[in-house]
Amino acid sequence: MHSSLGPAINRRALLVGGTAVAASALFPRIARATAAVPKAIELTAAPGRASLVGSPYPRTNVWCYGDRIPGPEIRLRQDEPVRLAVRNNLPEDTTVHWHGIRLPNAMDGVPGLTQPPIKPGESFTYEFTPPDAGTFWYHPHADSLQQLGRGLAGALIIEEPEPVPVDRDVVWVLSDWRLRSDAQIAPGFGSGMEAAMSGRVGNTVTVNGGVSEEEPVRAGERIRLRLVNASLARIMALRFEGHRPIVVATDGQPCDPHEPDNGRLLLAPAMRVDLILDMQGEPGRRYRVVDDFYDELSYWLTQLAYNDEPPLRAHPLDGPLRLPRNPVPEPDLTTAERHELRLQGGMMSGGGMMGRGGMMGMGSEASWAINGHSMTGDGHVGVPPLFTLRRGRSCVLSMRNETAWWHPMHLHGHSFRVLSRNGAAVPHRQWADTVLVRPKQTVKIAFVADNPGDWMLHCHVTDHQASGMMTMLRVA
């Protein structure tokens, strides 16, 4: 329902910003030939109202981009330059981070570190050329708990030069809200207790801005389903009853097509997965999409609702599932520089704080640390990097989770190979910009430090980031 309406609404929203959008939709060849002229898009962050739960509930007061939840779906082409003018009509400073895009450091949206914050009433223009096709997203990097938690997030889709042969390309932006019974957002962002545990997990999960009863499908069709977890803190484990989704990309980067382990797709905050879903169910039937990540808190996200039409085709397509590779440099493991990141802090099941003695600069707001240091908030001026990598150098990072909690760790400005978990090689050539590290697990990643600048590395459970699980790397 929401996803099928999505594109039309998005198109209308984007048209306000620039005619280049319409031109590229109608005349792709012309748009590519003139790709040197950046596509112009305008985006305004402002308070608004959205019907998250539907009647009889009132609309929810939110903060949003382009007056809608989620923000307008921005569709660009790989290697096509874009100019995004962001206007801030919020009552406080903001920035936009183009999560996962390998862009110039000055366009990364970290206040204080890569740009001055955008003050209320002011604008900032981001300009970059996305080098990779895939599923990305955008969100603020200022007062993140409140701004993301009130709804500021949108999908950023970078299209392949040649379209991938599917019947439909569908995006689900999944968001988690903590609503009161009057459908208004519960106050209390940044509770210290929650920050030291799983973060602000909400009570209402929306698909493209609304609680979803069903998403319409037709038997026999092949869908590319792009999932974006735009939640503050909620980790999801999705099962598609009666279906066998194939993962073809993680965090925008193509992988070897594979079925998720036990048919259960882990999707932590900020992570994206592209699935190929062949609709092998029966016309007229419904199949649940279940999220059972948290023990005893399983719920269904939506239902795949088959219409009554006969199958689109008699046999499933066996066309290529493999997406074309992006130009991400392959790290050289033999010469790589090696570093270790110890993830520390948080509440233990027993109730005490972990590793507290080792943390420096632990204010009352710090519950977490990386290698003994707690960087809090959204980004920092004048803080020395954890380490500096020479430009072009390969780096193997070992992230050792000494805590009792899960952490989706995000590195800005780069995509990395996920090498191993507790020493066991990770299959299917998986690349990521956000990797979920289980309690007590050690995950090794590798990347080429080819993008100069100061890059944040933090947990994307927003409460964890804000309360100390953040650091910065320099590529010089």
Contacts with Cu ion, residue ranges (CB under 5 A): 407, 459, 461, 464
C-beta of 376: minimal distance to ligand C2O in Å? 13
Closest by CA position to 404, among listed 365, 362, 350, 366: 350
Chosen from ligand C2O, Cu ion, none, partner binding at 272 (C-beta under 5 to 8 Å by type): none
- Near ligand C2O by CB under 6 A: residue from 228, 369, 409, 456: 456
C-beta of 459: minimal distance to Cu ion in Å? 3
Closest by CA position to 454, among listed 409, 396, 395, 412: 412
| Beta carbon nearer to ligand C2O, 279 or 418 | 418
C-beta of 461: minimal distance to ligand C2O in Å? 11
Q: Which span (35-43, 66-74, 114-122, 452-460) binds ligand C2O, by CB under 6 A?
A: 452-460
- Return the beta strands (E) in 195-316 as ranges: 204-207, 215-217, 222-229, 236-240, 246-250, 253-258, 265-267, 272-278, 286-291, 299-306
Binding to ligand C2O (CB under 6 A): which residues in 406-445? 410, 412
Q: Does residue 458 touch ligand C2O according to CB under 6 A?
A: yes
| Beta carbon nearer to ligand C2O, 141 or 218 | 141
Residue 389 makes CB contacts below 8 A (sequence gap 6+) with 337, 395, 449, 473, 474, 475, 476
Chosen from Cu ion, ligand C2O, none, partner binding at 239 (C-beta under 5 to 8 Å by type): none
Binding to ligand C2O (CB under 6 A): which residues in 163-222? none
Maximal CA-CA distance, the chain: 65
C-beta of 108: minimal distance to ligand C2O in Å? 8
CA distances in angstroms from 391 to 69, 76, 213, 413, listed in the order given: 39, 28, 49, 13
Chosen from Cu ion, ligand C2O, none, partner binding at 458 (C-beta under 5 to 8 Å by type): ligand C2O
| Beta carbon nearer to ligand C2O, 97 or 444 | 97
Q: Are 180 and 237 in contact (CB under 8 A)?
A: no
Q: Does residue 464 touch ligand C2O according to CB under 6 A?
A: no
Distance CA 337, CA 409 (A): 19
Number of residues that bind ligand C2O (CB under 6 A): 10
Q: Is 47 exposed, middle or buried (0-12, 13-18, 19+ CB in 10 A)?
A: middle
Distance CA 74, CA 43 (A): 10
Binding to ligand C2O (CB under 6 A): which residues in 23-62? none
Q: Does residue 141 touch ligand C2O according to CB under 6 A?
A: yes
C-beta of 145: minimal distance to ligand C2O in Å? 12
CA distances in angstroms from 430 to 235, 325, 351, 426, listed in the order given: 19, 12, 36, 7
Q: Interface mask (CB under 6 A) for ligand C2O, residues 213-252, using x and -?
A: ----------------------------------------
Q: Is 63 exposed, middle or buried (0-12, 13-18, 19+ CB in 10 A)?
A: buried
Q: Does residue 75 touch ligand C2O according to CB under 6 A?
A: no
Query: Nearest residue by C-beta to ligand C2O?
Result: 99
Residue 237 makes CB contacts below 8 A (sequence gap 6+) with 264, 265, 266, 267, 291, 292, 293
| Beta carbon nearer to ligand C2O, 173 or 279 | 173
Distance CA 459, CA 435 (A): 9
Question: Residues in the site for ligand C2O, rule: CB under 6 A?
Answer: 97, 99, 139, 141, 270, 410, 412, 456, 458, 460
